[in-house]
Amino acid sequence: MQNYLTIFINGDPFNCNVSMSLSDILNYLSIDMNLVVIEYNYSIIQRQDFSNLYFKNNDSIEVMSIVGGG
């Protein structure tokens, strides 16, 4: 059994361990979870669900940064 899978982050392939949650991946990539919106397979994911979301091969996430300005 494989211990890794490939997902797509903003269109780019990313290999990760099957046991990594969305929260684990964002931490690994040093992404501040308070400053992003995550779309998983075309659905917005609530921040409280980041640690409960695990991936299947070829799943897709889009990481959108929240930027202030005026």
Q: What is the pLDDT of residue 33?
A: 93
**Per residue in 4-31, pLDDT tens?**
999 999 999 999 999 999 999 999 999 9
pLDDT of residue 67: 77
pLDDT tens digits, one per residue of 51-61:
999 999 999 99
Q: Are 31 and 23 in contact (CB under 8 A)?
A: no
Topology given in CATH for the domain delimited by 4-65: Ubiquitin-like (UB roll) (3.10.20)
What does 2-68 look like in DSSP terms, one character per residue? -SEEEEEETTEEEEEETT-BHHHHHHHTT--GGGEEEEETTEEEPGGGGGG-B--TT-EEEEEE---
**What does the pLDDT read at residue 70?**
63
| Residue extents of the structural domains in the chain | 4-65
Supply the mean pLDDT for the chain. Answer: 93
Give the span between the Cα atoms of 23 and 18, in whole angstroms.
Answer: 13
- What is the pTM for the complete model shown? 0.87
